Amino acid sequence: MSAIPNRDRRAERREATRREIVDAAWEVARESGLSQITLREIARRVGMRSPSLYSHFDSKNAIYDAMFAQAYSDLRRAFNALELPAEPGRRSLLMVAELFFDFAVADLPRYQLMNQRTIPGFTPAEESFAISRDGFEEMAAVMRAAGVGGQDDLDLWTGILSGFVDQQLANDPGGTRWRRQLLRVVEMYCDEVGVPGPPLRSDR
């Protein structure tokens, strides 16, 4: 009969409380904006006094850091769950573009924290930044397998996608105006950087 590992219930409760605090911070961000997060409001939502938060996070920026890490972890899980074609190519790039776009526009505060310098003085810790860096490398590996070349071509990709997300969020929130253009822009990108394979668009 195998022994059941001892559970560290105190650590489990502590981790559950940290998740509750981060969830409350996201609630505030989605209701009022990232910059409106306050320790007092988070404490109120989780039923604590503000000083008690410091036993879980040493500053408000530490809460932002946990949110940043959670956001990129969620994106990586979504990316790793993507069922890409067996043969890398243009279709793979379109699927990656659609996933990133949909993930980004689904949650404005999350996108701002992940990709824009919205919070003055906030810089993610190295451990949290590594999650985002590793996620980008996973995407870059898919793109290189499809025939995308060097760093300039990858920079062009991120610039185009980020621009489309910004346009969608600023000018048609909740709509599909720029989402509908993804196939065209991915096709143009593939033509520009020399990704082989048949066209994505049937009208070409």
| CATH number listed for the domain at residues 64-204 | 1.10.357
| Token pair belonging to 203 | 């009208």
Q: At what angle do helices 90-105 and 182-193 cross, to 10 degrees?
A: 130
Q: Is the pLDDT of residue 103 over 70?
A: yes
Q: Is the pLDDT of residue 204 over 60?
A: no
CB 81 within 8 A of CB 75: no
Q: Is the pLDDT of residue 5 over 70?
A: no
pLDDT of residue 198: 86
pLDDT of residue 12: 83
| CATH level 2 (architecture), domain 1-58 | Orthogonal Bundle (1.10)
CB 64 within 8 A of CB 122: yes
Q: At what angle do helices 151-171 and 126-146 cross, to 10 degrees?
A: 110
Q: Is the pLDDT of residue 4 over 80?
A: no
Q: Which of 128, 118, 123, 130 is nearest to 61 (CA)?
A: 123
| Rounded alpha-carbon distances, angstroms, from residue 145 to 16, 34, 89, 139 | 40, 37, 8, 10
| Rounded alpha-carbon distances, angstroms, from residue 144 to 137, 182, 197 | 10, 19, 14
Choose the weakest-confidence range: 10-14, 150-154, 162-166, 187-191: 10-14
Question: Considering the chain, what percentage of its residues have pLDDT values greater than 70?
Answer: 96
| Rounded alpha-carbon distances, angstroms, from residue 134 to 21, 98, 107, 137, 178 | 26, 20, 22, 5, 27
Cα 97 off chain centre by: 13
User: Domain boundaries in the chain?
Assistant: 1-58, 64-204
pTM of this structure:
0.91
Q: Which amino acid is residue 87, in one-letter code?
A: E
pLDDT digits (tens, 9 = 90+) for 30-74: 999 999 999 999 999 999 998 899 999 999 999 999 999 999 999
Q: Is the pLDDT of residue 2 over 80?
A: no
pLDDT of residue 194: 93
Stretch 175-195: mean pLDDT: 96
Q: Is the pLDDT of residue 190 over 80?
A: yes
Q: Is the pLDDT of residue 85 over 80?
A: yes
CB 142 within 8 A of CB 92: yes
pLDDT digits (tens, 9 = 90+) for 124-176: 999 999 999 999 999 999 999 999 989 999 999 999 999 999 999 999 999 99
State the average pLDDT for the chain: 92
pLDDT of residue 97: 97
Q: Using the 8-state DSSP alphabet, how is residue 119 labeled?
A: S
